[in-house]
Amino acid sequence: MRNRADSHTPPPVRGRVAILSVHTSPLEQPGTGDAGGMNVYISETATRMAQRGIPVEIFTRATSSEQPPVAELAPGVLVRHIAAGPFEGLGKNDLPGQLCAFTAGVLRTEAHHEPGWYGVIHSHYWLSGQVGWLARDRWGVPLVHSAHTLARVKNAALAEGDQPEPMVRVIGEDQVVAEADRLVANTDTEVRQLVELCEADPLRTVAIPPGVDLDRFRPASRCEAREALGLRHDAVVLGFVGRIQPLKAPDVLLRAAAEMLRRDPALRERLVVLVVGGPSGSGLTEPTALQELAAHLGITDVVRFLPPQAGPALGRVYRAADVIAVPSHNESFGLVALEAQACGTPVVAADVGGLPVAVADGRSGLLVPGHGAGQWASALAAVALDPARRERLARGAVTHAREFSWERTTDALLATYADATREYRARLRDRLVAGIIEG
């Protein structure tokens, strides 16, 4: 297993970085549909690569006839919308049938330029990895791949009502893992999963944790944040930010809130549960399921549903909360946890996946080893209802979040690109020499 990539400034990448994100665009608002932490990851790292003088082109599937063929995400970062299948109505499970069309669009774009236009390919999620595998062989450049989530891991911890990932994804992930020149994982835990479950080569696998925008997400007035959201200054505010689907388990927060009220009925006068996000994945089949659950639990009066928030509005949500809950059944890292902590808000998170890295248990928040309403009610109350403990965790949250930044992530990615490129070219030279000797 490789050590975490160094954060020093790496050698510049030759040519452009081609980023593949088939099923979701970094231009989309995180928190609904298929847009989430991966979108943030791509946008933040691509922007910082461009700031270092390395042009980036992001390929994603066109989902509307109104989208331009090419859009600028930031100076030096282009988003190319590739026509592949009908614009609307396709879910992730429908996209494997459109990969040939998407690949053709990617290859056609490169064919309009001189060889070497792209110096490295970075694919995100297995669908993109399938495309990257073919483009790598055609362009003669290394393929770096980030899985973000793994089917085998997700299927081992399915939420109630969620559907298992299909075998086509399991096989597709194995193929990409075998072909990629480098595999980028978020944590050492994910590295171990890649090696043990997908037989990844540990010498080609590196852990690079995501970052957080410490300029955008920082401590500020909680009173002002609550005033902006129409909340009482003395309210007890529990928050959830993310896509509304069984995997993210927002229902756990609602059940825990109901249990807190059962234990202390007087709390109802001050309790507010903020749920920020939109339906996604299997949650699209029952878009009002969470509202119905709130009604069933008898807590409709304390729950507020808000659409996905962007920019300063998202920071206000984090700062307004006494605690942010991240009760996911599976989470490769958990950017929401990092953003909330950067704002000075403690996090109570499930002890799964990369969340033990994103949250420092007992220092920046609490980790819960399960999803039972009782244990979650106790953990949330231990933070939200104990001002002294909350303030101590809030200070620790800010300190912990400062250990992460998108600058460090970007530097580590560029170092990995350079490393993969050197090895890829060395292999090409060895093959060429072997061919000359055999000839």
Convert 258-277 into a string of H (helix), E (strand) and C (coil). HHHHHHCHHHHHCEEEEEEC
- Residue 284's pLDDT is what? 54
Annotated binding residues for 1D-myo-inositol 3-phosphate, as ranges? 23, 34-39, 92, 125, 149, 169
pLDDT tier at 162, thresholds 50, 70, 90: confident
Query: Above pLDDT 90, what percent of the chain?
Result: 79
Q: What is the mean pLDDT of residues 74-88?
A: 93
Instruction: Give yes or no for residue 339 having a pLDDT over 80.
Output: yes
132-136, 161-165, 190-194: the lowest-pLDDT one: 161-165
pLDDT digits (tens, 9 = 90+) for 350-386: 999 999 999 999 999 999 999 999 999 999 999 999 9
- Residue 5's pLDDT is what? 46
pLDDT tier at 318, thresholds 50, 70, 90: very high
Instruction: Give yes or no for residue 221 having a pLDDT over 90.
Output: yes
Instruction: Give yes or no for residue 251 having a pLDDT over 70.
Output: yes
Q: What is the mean pLDDT of residues 22-46?
A: 86
pLDDT tier at 32, thresholds 50, 70, 90: low
- Residue 384's pLDDT is what? 98
Annotated binding residues for Mg(2+), as ranges? 318-319, 321, 345
63-77, 114-128, 154-168, 379-393: the lowest-pLDDT one: 154-168
The CA distance from 384 to 173, in Å, is: 41
- Residue 295's pLDDT is what? 97
- Residue 126's pLDDT is what? 95
- Residue 12's pLDDT is what? 56
Annotated binding residues for UDP-N-acetyl-alpha-D-glucosamine, as ranges? 29-30, 37, 243, 248, 309, 331, 339
- Residue 10's pLDDT is what? 46
- Residue 310's pLDDT is what? 86
Residues 6+ apart with CB under 8 A from 235: 226, 270, 271, 272
pLDDT tier at 280, thresholds 50, 70, 90: low
- Residue 6's pLDDT is what? 46
Backbone region of residue 121 per phi and psi (left: phi > 0; alpha: psi in -120 to 50; beta: other values): beta
The CA distance from 150 to 71, in Å, is: 30
- Indicate the helix (H) or strand (E) that contains 353: none
Please, what is the end-to-end C-alpha distance for the chain in angstroms? 37
pLDDT digits (tens, 9 = 90+) for 383-430: 999 999 999 999 999 999 999 999 999 999 999 999 999 999 998 888
Instruction: Give yes or no for residue 1 having a pLDDT over 60.
Output: no
Ordered alpha helix ranges (H), 218-368: 222-228, 250-263, 289-297, 312-320, 335-342, 355-358
pLDDT tier at 175, thresholds 50, 70, 90: very high
Average pLDDT, the chain: 92
Query: Above pLDDT 70, what percent of the chain?
Result: 95
Annotated binding residues, as ranges? 23, 29-30, 34-39, 92, 125, 149, 169, 243, 248, 309, 318-319, 321, 331, 339, 345
- Residue 47's pLDDT is what? 97
Q: What is the mean pLDDT of residues 163-187?
A: 95
Q: What is the mean pLDDT of residues 184-189?
A: 96
DSSP conformation class of 326: E
The CA distance from 101 to 108, in Å, is: 11
DSSP conformation class of 288: T
Output the CA–CA distances (angstroms, integers) from residue 224 to 227, 333, 358, in the order listed.
5, 30, 27
Instruction: Give yes or no for residue 281 having a pLDDT over 50.
Output: yes
206-220, 221-235, 416-430: the lowest-pLDDT one: 416-430
- Residue 258's pLDDT is what? 98
pLDDT tier at 8, thresholds 50, 70, 90: very low
Instruction: Give yes or no for residue 439 having a pLDDT over 70.
Output: no
pLDDT digits (tens, 9 = 90+) for 411-424: 999 999 999 999 99
Label the pairing between strands 323-326 and 303-306.
Answer: unpaired
